[in-house]
Chains A and B, each alone.
Chain A
């Protein structure tokens, strides 16, 4: 697939689908809602991860829909322990693999270690174990499925819920217009750990997601991918709009697609023209209550933050801290 190069799929080549691997590692029969963007992202991420990998998953939608005893939708070796410790479990796996390899007890290639969790499992309850694993330079990839609320428990707000969005615990009311905090910037937090690879991805651009996951799992040391996972149930949107909405998120610069390689920012999908955020908000029932002042505030914040991102892409030096002191020092 070198023809596409790493995360170069700015052009959505119509026939690209036919050249992508057909093996399904996240099998049919999982019980996600109709039109689940998260399941679509997981399906493609697992293709990119490939056979030789071990996955640790946090409690959440993707864990519940895929692992109802006695059935499992996972073709990878897969472990779920609890909600807030996925990165710690992953660092235990990584430590064990290192020992097995050093003692010659590792048959086959060194498996990639991948940790997965939802936005709640990553930016709220799981942030501590994630930060620990990143800071320790653990050789693993963390993928956050961000559907922007606690969907498995019935759409409660998380720190990743966007400003103004309605959830069952950030309802609009006489005294409230919904979520009153701006979405926590997990990508910035990941970059702040000085790790070699960070990226955003979404099921709107599946091959962009595919190549970023491939690049992350092949990057030695910690890598973090933040995936905007459209959730028709939680966002009160039509089930057939999932991919369209994901693309609109990038076209309106609400969710830009970029990667940060050794601290250097690079846009991987450059919409020809940035559309107004209203185009993205309109098809979603969770924003229907917003009035113009709130939409304008969202527009302004989105424009400013996109501008900052573009500037970061031109930055002269890298936001990077060598987790491992290179040999010879």
Chain B
């Protein structure tokens, strides 16, 4: 349903309310939820990927250079900071 979800007519709702396209939650930016976000210190990051593993949101993406960064879905929970093997991630307040 391309239309804004609260403008959809009853005729446009799929039979049985079935959602025919998987993974459409990606259209919802959970990044709006964070009030702080993780920043990596690349001089100490060993590119092990543990941060990527422990993120509940799959909110961390490996960059072409092998380092990892948060993506738009990060909710700012801070698990990656706590679990980082070298402790090279720290949370930074969102600028309002």
Contacts and interface: CB of A to CB of B under 8 A. Distances in A.
Say if the two chains contact directly (CB < 8 Å): yes
Interface of A: 14-15, 17-18, 20, 22, 24, 26-32, 34-37, 39-40, 43, 66-67, 69-76, 203, 206, 232, 238-244
Contacts of B19: 67, 69-72
B83 A28 contact: no
Contacts of A14: 46, 48, 50, 85
B28 interface: yes
Nearest to A20: B53
Contacts of B62: 22
A146 B58 CA distance: 21
A29 B30 contact: yes
Given A18-B49, A24-B58, A69-B17, A239 B26 contact: no
B56 interface: yes
Nearest to B29: A29
A31 B28 contact: yes
A30 B33 CA distance: 12
A28 B48 contact: no
Interface string B52-63: 111111110010
B5 interface: yes
Contact of B22 (A43, A70, A74): A74
Contact of B57 (A39, A66, A74): A39
Contacts of B30: 28-31
Contacts of A239: 77-79
A49 to B, nearest CB: 14
19 contacts: A14-B46, A14-B50, A17-B52, A18-B48, A27-B23, A27-B58, A28-B73, A32-B56, A35-B56, A66-B25, A70-B1, A70-B5, A70-B19, A71-B24, A72-B23, A75-B22, A239-B77, A242-B56, A244-B82
Given A28-B57, A32-B56, A36-B56, A242 B79 contact: yes
Given A39-B56, A240-B77, A244-B82, A72 B22 contact: yes
Contact of A17 (B8, B29, B48, B76): B48
Contacts of A40: 54-56, 79
Contact of A29 (B8, B21, B28): B28
Contact of A243 (B34, B46, B83): B83
B48 A34 contact: no
Contact of B23 (A69, A70, A73, A243): A73
A18 B1 CA distance: 36
Given A29-B73, A71-B19, A244-B82, A17 B53 contact: yes
Nearest to B75: A34
